[in-house]
Structure 1
Amino acid sequence: MTAPGRRSSTFTRLLRHGFTDPSAAERLLEGTELAPVRSDPVLLDALGATADPDLALIGLVRLVEAQDGPPAQRELLDTLIAAKPLRDRLLGVLGASAALGDHLARHPHDWQALVTYEARDLHPGVQEFERGLADATDPVSLRVAYRRCLLSIAARDVCGTTDLAQTAAELADLATATLRAALAVARAAAPDDAALCRLAVIAMGKCGGHELNYVSDVDVIFVGEGTEGADEGKAVQAATRLASHMMRICSETTVEGSIWPVDANLRPEGRNGPLVRTLSSHLAYYQRWAKTWEFQALLKARPVAGDLDLGEEYVATLAPLVWQAAERENFVADVQKMRRRVVENIPAAEIERELKLGPGGLRDVEFAVQLLQLVHGRADTTLRSGTTLDALKALAAGGYVGRADAVQLDDAYRFLRSMEHRIQLFRLRRTHLVPRDEADLRRIGRSLGLRADPAVELNREWKRHTAMVRRLHEKLFYRPLLDAVAQLAPGESRLSPDAARERLVALGYADPAAAMRHLEALASGVSRKAAIQRTLLPVLLGWFADSADPDAGLLNFRKVSDALGKTPWYLRLLRDEGAAAENLARVLSAGRLAPDLLMRAPEAVALLGDGESGGLEPRGRVQLEQEILAAVRRADGGEQAVTVVRGVRRRELFRIAATDIVASYGTEETPAVADQGALVDLVGGAVSDLTAATLAGTLRAVVRDGWGDTLPTRFAVIGMGRFGGHELGYGSDADVLFVHEPREGVDEQEAARAANAVVSEMRRLLQIPSADPPLLIDADLRPEGKSGPLVRTLKSYEAYYRRWSLVWESQALLRAEVVAGDADLGSRFVELVDPLRYPAEGLGEEAVREIRRLKARMESERMPRGADPTLHTKLGRGGLSDVEWTVQLMQLRHGWAEPGLRTTRTRQALAAARAAELLSTEDAATLDEAWVLATRVRNAVMLVRGRAGDTFPSDGRELAAVGRYLGYDPGHVGDMLDDYRRTTRRARAVVDELFYGA
């Protein structure tokens, strides 16, 4: 045993070397694993130089333990002490990346990949990485070899042997070698397909730009051609099979994890388009249909795998189109609008930590550089680089960007990308959010050379660089000169004005030339399909015009028609069932959400008819659960099950949105729904039922994968907030509590482990990235909030609520309702909390004052800066919060005596309060009208913009679309805002009297 004096000395040295838990570090150093080297000062100095000495030491002990016996352990330790390059590399990686530490513990011989330190080892290229992957013949061995190569890249990175640009280039080269290896595996598995076709893999995005992250989707486009004498159709099919297999090899999760997703959604028509096209098909698409952003994306196109000659031909063929893109009408405005849209789509809770997409983030640098390239690169070929920093250097050399600005942008970009790399390297997870945890910030700061006060210094440097980027982005990206330069070149020839174009103008189409192109594409020719379209389009154009954005309606119709044009039932449905065509027109022109959902599942058009597909009536929870659980039973594994569940959710969200839109707009056959409250209840109940069924299916998938038929503990999900109240909107989170109860004979710790594993896996599966509207599980209403355990036993809830429960928790529990899992356990939970939410004899005055104080605090702290409190639907005057807190206060005070108040639903509770004469009929109607209107506005914003929001849009067209949804004629948005303010002002007067006692 170490003497106390010795221990004190070691403890002090460990603190001095940057250990945050010196006691634990001292124990590890005194263990048998490090006995041969524990007294060597070189080791402690090297550990102290790492980003996280504690993590590095733990990783080293694990690696030593994993060696094959004492000789191998001794070899590792001897080499570590004797060879400084290895010592710096190995400990540097272990101190920066827990994930690579795990890899080394699983593959204890891979440390030897870090031994060499020769000139050719400093900056390996594709060929060196190909040699490193040469023995990988299946997905598992490819992942192991990939991580081994990644280990060497990370070692050079954290030791400063490579800079940011070199590291990003090496990561792109490793991705290139990996794509080639995966394609080789796919070809070996299907030699007949390989012989039939030429397949080129074109890297896009950061891989194409030779500036890849540690963890990122690898964006690709596939080009296929037949070999000599091969049938083109069969060759493309063969190429598609090879491409699909290659993507699966890289993307699928194995026992060794996954490499990265291969994303082909930048291809023409995105995920709705064919995976592989011929070169001529690509060219035809880009010549005719491509949007501005697609040409911007092609800036980074680079052939990386497969038939490189074909890939080079693809790039050379499309290059002229890329450099003509700036001649498109509204080109600059489109690029600027796209960047603004990216920022607008960031969740408010994340925008301040978003390193990539947020204001002053990496995307601001990249968009500014790309816009300048596209405008000026038409004439100056030196600007045509896919690598951001190279292009920035060329822009500075050509005088398009000031030298000082370029240096500052370069410096900021390198710093922000380095931060991004260190964040991702820790767990090898795809993220761009700066962590909040002090230990994470400390590790990142130390890894970037910030040592005095790493977390504070990191935040200061990050904010400084972000502010710099934001300033320069505004300066360069919104230059008035850019638009003028872009317009110098002639654009495409336009159709001369004719009667059809005049008709489109009269109907309100903002871009009649584009509308004419859509009409020509849809209705030209002598086919039967064209004939039906010529019958439908005159009517559809009028229906599109009866919206705030007829151009979008026509464009969306063209997209759907392109996707379903060869499906025999599609046009017959529109021609023969009058409601279907008008319903489709309403849905396609009402905003973004419903068309976006439909584009990902075009076959859902069938729901708009009156046939056997169920029509527009939302399905109940029982039906949804039956379908989802049946699909889960057929799925192979949890992730596939959740993919299937998401497919059902996507279709049903479209059904609900379409129902909402059609009922709000009305049709020639069916007028708009007059009872807006009933429509709000329908949407809220339908989305809540769909969410409950989604959670039930996810829960079933998790339990089946982990435990078979029976979980060791009973498990229930309790809906809270709007979820429990059957009032979810299209973009609402699912507020929940998790409760479990060990089965008879099951150890409590085993039951707790199982319950926590279920919760973790459910959340993981539901958070897998997807283009669908997210479903976020929020358990922050649990006891002790974010600090408390995610799941508790029923007894634990009982003990907590008996001793510690606060008045806000009683208020929150007013919405508690069983939504998934063990119904009996859920019912007993509800019985447990009934005395809290309906307290005997009601609330005391102190509790009432506390609730009032909490609400006042919430209003002052949570109202977004700059928001108009008269137009904020949630926290604003007379909005949702005002009405709900007023109703909930009545429930807490009188629920014990009035059974009608014992409901989770706001409008039902309000009606019960009126029936019990707790407020007047007039006041109840005022509160109900305001609550329904605020809810309708929130639903409208989500339908129109495709993302949730609590305020009216600032964009004029979007605001008009919200007005149209709410029943206002074009040109009357001012009336809409006045009516909203008037309705909520009256409601606030009632709230002041009933809630605050004014």
Structure 2
Amino acid sequence: MEALLEGLPESLGERVLTHWRNYLEAADQPIEPSAELARVWAFSDFVARSCSRNPDLLQGLLGSGDLERSYGEGELRQRLDAALDGVSDENDLGGRLRRFRRLEMTRIAWRDLAGYADLGEVTADLSALAEACIDGALVRLYEWQCEEKGTPCGSDGRTQQLVVLGMGKLGARELNFSSDVDLIFAYPEEGETRGGRRSTSNQEFFVRLGQRLITALDRSTAEGFVFRVDMRLRPFGESSTLALSFDAMEAYYQVHGREWERYAMIKARPVAGDRQAGEELMAMLKPFVFRRYVDYGAFESLRDMKGMIEREVRRKGLENNVKLGAGGIREVEFIGQAFQLIRGGREPTLQRRPILTVLEALRGFQLLPDFAVDELVDAYLFLRNTEHRLQEFADQQVHDLPEDDAGRMRVALAMGYVDWSAFEVDLRQHMRRVHEHFEQVFAAPQREHAESDILDTKGVWVATQDDEQARDTLKQIGFNEPAQALKALANVRESHSYRALSAHGKGRMDRLMPLLIGAAGAMDEPETALERLLSLISAVARRTAYLALLVENPMALSQLVKLCASSSWIGRLLEKHPQLLDELLDPRTLYVPPKRDEMTNELRQRLIRIPPDDLEQQMDALRHFKQAILLRVAAADVSGAVPLMVVSDHLTALAEVILDEVLELAWRHMVDRHGRPQCGDELACDKGFAIIAYGKMGGIELGYGSDLDLVFVHSGASEGRTTDGARPVDNAVFYARLAQRLVHLLNTRTAAGELYEVDIRLRPNGASGLLVTSVEALEDYQRERAWTWEHQALVRARPVAGDPGIAERFQAVRAEVVSHKREVGKLRREVREMREKMRANLRKDGSQGFDLKQDRGGIADIEFMVQYAVLAWAHTYPDLVEFTDNIRLLERLAERDLIPAVDVSLLTDAFRAYRARVHQLTLQDRPAVVGADEFADYSDGVVRIWQGLMEPG
């Protein structure tokens, strides 16, 4: 042994030799010492003492091979049950638990110090050991108490069992080596015991059972303890009863629950007793922990908690504490759990318990930059390993770094360093980085800026300035009409919505409004910006978490002011759907609408977190997704980041992605109920169903408020057959119900709004026709009975979702019908008559200005000319059926010299200019009408071309 200790400091070597001599005296057949044993004993008096006092323990660990292998799933519990087999009473139970705990703690520490197990395995084993001991003891104690007092039952006579919630690190399976276990006891419902000598209430039964469980685990005997138990996290703390019913638990958290208790409950998990009932309890408490909205209001409470932490560190002198000191383990956990409280209700991925998985989720959501997550993860692993080295030495709950040279050298060597100074350099660097991120997350830049602002915008809002002073302040900020702004602010301050706020809510409003006033004053039209912002703030004020979001995030407030100043439509969108304020946090994504494949991935990520049978949540998720993408497209539009054609591309792609997903939802529902439709052998069908888009969606020209013109088709090969499910229906019935469900999912207005207004009147025979038509019936109708205007509509039709085989069949029908040779004079007359009828019906009231869509020389005239040209010449030039959008069709007409290139140039320029102006007006909530002179050159040119093409001499 002395030879194996060469290279170790003398103080460590002497301790190991002492333990080795004790071992040799106690062992009947001593083992040969090894370098591994010398190293482990040098770093852990606890392991050395356990082995030297109980040579059989060491012999068993070495002989079994358990030191060199990981336990399998559930193996630790199996070993405990074997160790408790035949246990006779509570004294016997306590002794067996303590001996088992010492054996397994020795094994865990040895594997850690010898390098056989990483931190994840160590904490998982420690947590599994605690969980096994708690549940193993509870099973025996419950049986004995039922024999004495009867079995507790609920109102329906069913047996009741205790539920033990593990809090903190136990709940997250992150227990440290000498950790307490924080527990909460609960039981399903009130009632009485049955079958005992005398009945007692369920509460009395479970309180007594909890007391016995604590004694079995926590009491120190000659053999030590199992785990120290801390019950202070239970409702009402130390002053309350030890166990509460589920109803009492729920009532407590609803009425009395405080912010720190939400923080504590994040990691809560059933660890013993009735696990199924425990999961039901967690589901009951989930709304308390994870609010359904983005809860930036939690930042205020968390910042208060942060202040308490820092004061505690200073008061207790915890600078060298790897858990509680600045940059310690608790700060890493606090960062992760802060985001969980704030965003966990909206992002189920953040409802995880282990901190490392939470940090990775924050990386995935880009809530923390990659470098920050990397540094926090590295620091956490380093600090937790250091914590274990400190605690494994003597099995004591210590977190302070040693101050003596021997202790420091022991920790440094156990962490793989040659000396203390090298270890301390890395330790301080990790803790410095953690604290920097901690400070960054909880910084309050808005508040600091407001408090240091020279101009008293707060005085303007709370009316501590007289009118003249307030007007002068607003003038200096940038307002042109300060009296108008003052009146608007007074209206909000005196409104019912403001007066109805709680003191807490008014405090948030009073912090936000000075910031809002200052930001609005910097806009080109500050009065307009302020008016829109005040309308929005008044609408969302009752949900004060949104006020907190804007106070806490300078970037979000900045983007809100900019967007509302640019567009009243965006302001209304945010007013209706305030959860979109969360989108303002990151301008890197706000002004960069996603491409189609990115939209598809984002939507599926949102839906995959929702239970497949929860239609309400699925519908809300679809609507929230659409609104978020709409906001990003509009933000990019008003900022000039994307051109007109790309705006429509994004809006059309958004509709296609949503249709794809809605069709999948409707399809799964129908197949679950009735099975799949049986198709004919002559058609290799997928769903045998497709969605055809007409109008603006078919032409890839959707605007912000566009509805969807849709037609549904199915395979004729499926007619006369039924579905293959347990409740089969005729295929035609299946497809009709599928289409009805599709329309329902799209049209229905929920609390989250609606997806799209759907128009299905373009189907064969219009409103009187079948909701779903076979491809063959559609072909027959288009050939034999369709009106010219229906052929015009077909020019802009294209498949957008569903079975590729059906889509291909439809395209063939469309090409054939559109390319049919027509009598040009008759075609021209019918198209012209339809145009005049449309103009008469759709022209906006009043003769002032130029209606961009319906007046002569406007958008509809261009569209009708394109449709006429395609129907007139496609039989000669089949490639005219290739596209459905007006711009590419015009370009193709110019390439074929069917319309002079100079005229096509004017038409495309006019079409783009008109549509760009329509988008701008939509974003300002104004009708598509402009001054008569604004586009006079374009409209005159379009009229001239119309007369030449549609009204020849």
TM range (shorter): 0.3 to 0.5
Q: TM-score, normalised by structure 2?
A: 0.45
Q: Larger Cα Rg: Structure 1 or Structure 2? A: 2
Q: Structure 1 length normalisation: TM-score?
A: 0.43
